[in-house]
Structure 1
């Protein structure tokens, strides 16, 4: 710890990198590009306390999640990223070439110098490694939080049971569209609200209910992309039926996450498929519009192959460290020192729960999160979650004795998902073609999927697009994954 304190007080060689503090002590400035998943930025008081405890000045550049990828990519292409940049798991392939080109620090050799960073999970670090080298600090997450958030009061009004199968889910969404679930005498609702995201929107979770592989399927030693399977086609046909019958918002292919949430909050739609951990925040905001609104959670929908849900690697994203913005090894150690300090008990609990007495209370050493301060936590504390590394396994974070009911249920059902996960068999494999061309190639399949659902493409037309994907590099990608798997055996 003495080494860390010395590092944090050390002067930088660049004059604009430090601030003069009391008594002439210099304070390192750490610039961070981070996604904002909430309507507002976190409390400035909490940020100030984080700075006081860790001995740094934080220059956090919050970017709304809906445009984060574009902002991050612009900084990458213009070589103007700050010292620390968050990269979402789904965008990781965008930066791998930059990593290989030495644009970011390899931090693996430094981690053991720090008491907390040295204890990070080797398994998760290796999941995110590039050519066996560690470049990022991971934000941690369960294997699957996917499920259904549904208007419980609408189910009650229509005397419907929560759906347990795909057929029942369709019928509930149909009645939410045509049977006046809010009782206002108008046909002004629809069953399902989606957004322009085939992964974290509706499509991928729905496809796993149909039994679609998670990105890839390995069969007889060969890799098969998910979109050539019958189950993927079944999912597209189901979505097309919802679209044709106007059970889903007709502009879903163009809808942002913010607009999707707003339609659900305002009672325009009754089913939201995505991360179940969104339920508490959605419930708070829905009750502000309609105090009678009640939400429920469902994680088990039985499909043709039983219960299935897609899984993800245990990191949501990584914090990478720019070599242009962090010129010296000494500066890198200052920045890593801040992240190490963020895992200590005082800082991590501040980021997780806020201020004792304002956002939570303590009883017998456990945290109590009163329902009455739930909105305050959403507004002032929750946006900080995206800054927290290794939060799931950090034993310094206090246990919650009394959670909000919906939050506790979301956690419980996320654990239940572990019983029927569908893993991606290529997670530990590498393909040069994937790293270099997947962004370009995935556009072919994304566009073809949307166009099929919207009726602009026939099944034959969709298969032609698959052939184009293969011709433009997909076949080479398959071959590389096959060879990588054989090399491991």
Structure 2
């Protein structure tokens, strides 16, 4: 299951509990408008629209969806689209695994959709090479000032094919995952938040051995993870204390954290916390859900999680409010000039494009451009499609201290027609800062979640160089297996030969990937 789908399904489950609506890991270099200008206020409750054109135009839209089930004739989102733009808008949503085949059949049958939204750029590239899509979006960007204003140098390079822009990269979901630390334990032990790996080790020691919760029992651990028996789990993110990880663009060539020794520093750090028993002993074998009981019971001092952690712990402990102040954000500790950043986020959430046939119809093209621009955050159409403002009676409330809240109380249509969530798939971005629940007003846990996520969004992150690459998937998979096997052996004392591992990694395909990455980084203009 993809991260996008996993994140979105949290949204679909909102009718019984408060959840995070945008927890996908991402770091965009674009800024967000201020809350006062970014959304309708609670008192507005409607999306402002201009008078629709006189001639009705039929527009077919095929996308990757979250739910991928059709809605009925009473769908208020379809009604809103048709009335707002004077169109007959036909939307079909498919899972990621099915979208490409569905599109290929439609184009082969000479019945192409007008608009396409896909998570996988390769799907767009395959169609583009067949000559059935708009050849270059560049001449139309002046009609899309809001959307084009969200592009970054990486997102533009991502959709560049021979100097032409083959699609519109949509806003990514800002990363809300960061390390969280028990602030109450720090206070109890009179400690400061650690800023270096050495300080973090000291804190983990005290969290494990100095009875941070004051219960007179030796029942706490400094940190945990969820490796599911295959990898290091969230612990791998600690590599960013020391520098960039995986393959990235250096000054003159592609580099690797494995080859330059950054990965060894991570393994040595983890080996220390394992040898000293500062970590939950099940850290390697347990999965994400299996780790939660210890975390929610207050036995773990540091974890890698989005701000929804506050609501999840509250919900798991009776919603008494007693756990709201447990965790605060821990900025990535830093060792050296290249360390201290969060892991890379995604470059974009997906790609929008149109068929060549739609591009050759002036009236249809004009209407599509208007729909895309108006549906881009923070314009009115965004709030309508994503949150139902002016569509389904929903209102967006500005929350003191930052963030926004949408109440689902009284929500009727999507309870029985969850496919209506797919109207928001192609426009969605966590940049809106929205949390929604069935409460009328945001709870204190909601406000805390909003603050933690907002803080994380502002933390520096490494660029997502790997997302720019198209590398041999079999080699990548084989090298991941090789690395995961060596990592756990090294940490548990089964091997000390890191240099031998590097040689094997290079000879098993690592050098091939680095050479190819260098070529692709140069083509994208990321290195000279």
1:30, 1:57 within 8 Å by CA — same for their partners in 2?
A: yes
Q: CA deviation at 1:444?
A: 3.1
Q: Which residue of 2 aligns with 1:126?
A: 156
Structure 2 residue aligned with 1:271: 302
Query: Are 1:193 and 2:225 counterparts?
Result: yes
**C-alpha distance 414-471 of structure 1, shift in aligned 2 (>3 A):** closer
- Secondary structure of the equivalent of 1:207? helix
**Is 1:476–2:527 an aligned residue pair?**
no
From 77, 92, 96, the counterpart of 1:72: 96
Matched residue, 1:18: none
Distance 2:332 2:526 in 1: 37
Contact 2:117–2:353 under 8 Å retained in 1? yes
Q: Distance in 2 between matches of 1:383 and 1:404?
A: 27
Does the 8 Å contact 1:210/1:303 carry over to 2? yes
After TM superposition, give the deviation of residue 297 of structure 1 in Å. Answer: 0.9
Pick from 271, 274, 287 the counterpart of residue 255 of structure 1. 287
Higher RCO (CA-CA < 8 Å; seq separation 6+): 2
Per the alignment, residue 466 of structure 1 pairs with 505
- In the alignment, the residues of structure 2 paired with residue 482 and residue 360 of structure 1 have an alpha-carbon distance, to the nearest angstrom, of 42
Q: Report SS of the residue matched to 1:340.
A: helix
Confirm whether residue 51 of structure 1 aligns to residue 74 of structure 2. Answer: no
Secondary structure in 2 matching 1:465: helix
The CA deviation at 1:247 is 1.0
2-side partners of 1:378 and 1:386: how far apart? Answer: 22
Measured in 2, the distance between the counterparts of 1:241 and 1:385 equals: 46
What residue ranges of structure 2 are gaps of 5+ in the alignment? Answer: 1-48, 83-88, 107-112, 415-420, 434-443
Match of 1:209 among 235, 241, 244: 241
- Deviation for aligned residue 1:342: 1.6
- Contact 2:144–2:373 (CA under 8 A) maintained in structure 1: yes
**1:388-432 deviations in whole A, cap 9, x for unaligned?**
3678599xxxxxxx99355245434543x34xx5446788xx7xx
Match of 2:201 among 166, 170, 183: 170
**Counterpart residue number, 1:24:** none
TM-score (norm 2): 0.61
Corresponding residue for 1:108? 137
**Deviation by residue 1:348-389 (Cα, 9 ceiling, x = unmatched):** 23456665996544xxxxx33699996957998999876436
Residues 31 and 84, structure 1, Cα contact 8 Å, conserved in 2: yes
Q: 1:487 to 1:301 in 2, by over 3 A?
A: closer
Partner SS, residue 170 of structure 2: strand
* Cα deviation 1:283-326 (Å, max 9, x = unaligned): 12211223321220122413244753156477332234586xx9
Which residue matches 1:285?
A: 312
After the TM superposition, which of the residue ranges 221-230 and 121-130 deviates more from structure 2? 121-130
Judge conservation of contact 1:151–1:270 (CA < 8 Å) in 2. Answer: yes
1:4/1:359 CA distance change after superposition, 3 Å: closer
Moved more, 187-196 or 128-137: 187-196
Does residue 453 of the first structure (1) align with residue 496 of the second (2)?
A: no
| 1:435 aligned residue (466, 470, 487) | 470
Matched residue count: 423
| Structure 2 residue corresponding to 1:341, chosen from 349, 352, 374 | 374
- CA 1:95/1:452 → structure 2, altered by over 3 Å: closer, same or farther? farther
Deviation, structure 1 residue 230: 1.5
Specify the alignment match of 1:295 in structure 2. Answer: 327
Change (3 A) 1:223 1:210: same
CA distance in 2, matches of 1:167, 1:383: 47
Distance, in Å, in 1 between the alignment partners of 2:296 and 2:81 is 38
Distance in 1 separating the partners of 2:484 and 2:449:
33
For 2:171 and 2:409, the matched residues in 1 are separated by 20
Which residue of 7, 10, 31 maps to 2:57?
A: 10
In 1: Cα distance, 2:50 partner to 2:213 partner: 62
SS at match of 2:79: helix
1:386-397 matched pairs, under 5 angstroms: 387-388=426-427
Give the distance between the partners of 1:389 and 1:229, measured in 2 at CA: 38
Give the SS at the match of 2:348.
strand
CA pair 241-224 structure 1, distance change in 2 beyond 3 A? same
Question: CA distance change for structure 1 residues 358 and 342 in 2, over 3 Å: closer, same or farther?
Answer: closer
Q: What's the TM-score, normalizing by structure 1?
A: 0.65
Which residue number corresponds to residue 149 of structure 1?
A: 180
Deviation at 1:33, TM superposition (A): 1.7
Please name the residue that 1:317 is paired with: 349
For the residues of structure 2 that align with 1:191 and 1:378, how far apart are their CA atoms?
A: 38
Greater CA drift, 376-385 or 203-212? 376-385
- Find the counterpart in structure 1 of residue 45 from structure 2: none
Of residues 105, 123, 126, the one that matches 1:98 is: 126
What does the per-residue CA deviation read over 1:129-179, in whole Å, with 9 as the maximum and x for residues that have no partner? 232333333333588766322233344455543322212323434454566
CA contact (8 A) 2:171 2:429 kept: yes
For 2:150 and 2:256, the matched residues in 1 are separated by 30
Does the C-alpha gap of structure 1 residues 174 and 226 become closer, same or farther in structure 2, counting only changes over 3 Å?
A: same
